[in-house]
């Protein structure tokens, strides 16, 4: 792919990835052919900030985990009221990196 196109994409989507993942995504995109760009643009990325806000407001119901596709953990949080609040508080710190990791996995899958 064209390096300018890749850099433009990464500048607009950088908040969806951890800082150490951006270089890996860039390298994978540069190594891929142009037909993969369509796959990359159709990948649905989860906004870590939105998921954190949902986690703070409704984390005890497990909605944040359902949004990430972690259905089992979402049901567990729902049934235990967020692990009696403890699990919900821990997720305030862990949910954004989890969302960014899922975004990285989805982009990697699209580039394969």
Where are the domains positioned within the chain? 3-111
Q: Where are the beta strands (DSSP E) in 31-104?
A: none
Burial 55-91 (b: 16+ CB within 10 A, else e): beebbbbbbbbbbbebeebbeebeeeebbeeebbeeb
In this prediction the pTM is 0.85
Question: Tokens 């150490």 correspond to what residue?
Answer: 20
Rounded to an integer, the average pLDDT of 1-30 is 90
pLDDT at 83: 86
Contact 43, 51 (CB under 8 A): no
| pLDDT tens digits for range 51-93 | 999 999 988 899 999 999 999 999 999 999 888 889 889 999 9
């Amino acid at each position: 792919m064209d390096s300018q196109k890749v850099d433009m994409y990464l500048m607009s989507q950088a908040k969806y990835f951890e800082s150490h993942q951006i270089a890996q995504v860039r390298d994978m995109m540069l190594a891929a052919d142009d037909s993969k760009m369509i796959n990359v643009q159709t990948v649905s990325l989860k906004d870590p900030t939105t998921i954190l806000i949902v986690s703070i407001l409704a984390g005890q119901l497990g909605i944040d985990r359902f949004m990430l596709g972690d259905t089992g953990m979402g049901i567990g949080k729902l049934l235990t009221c967020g692990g009696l609040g403890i699990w919900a508080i821990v997720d305030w710190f862990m949910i954004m990196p989890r969302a960014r990791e899922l975004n990285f996995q989805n982009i990697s899958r699209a580039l394969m």
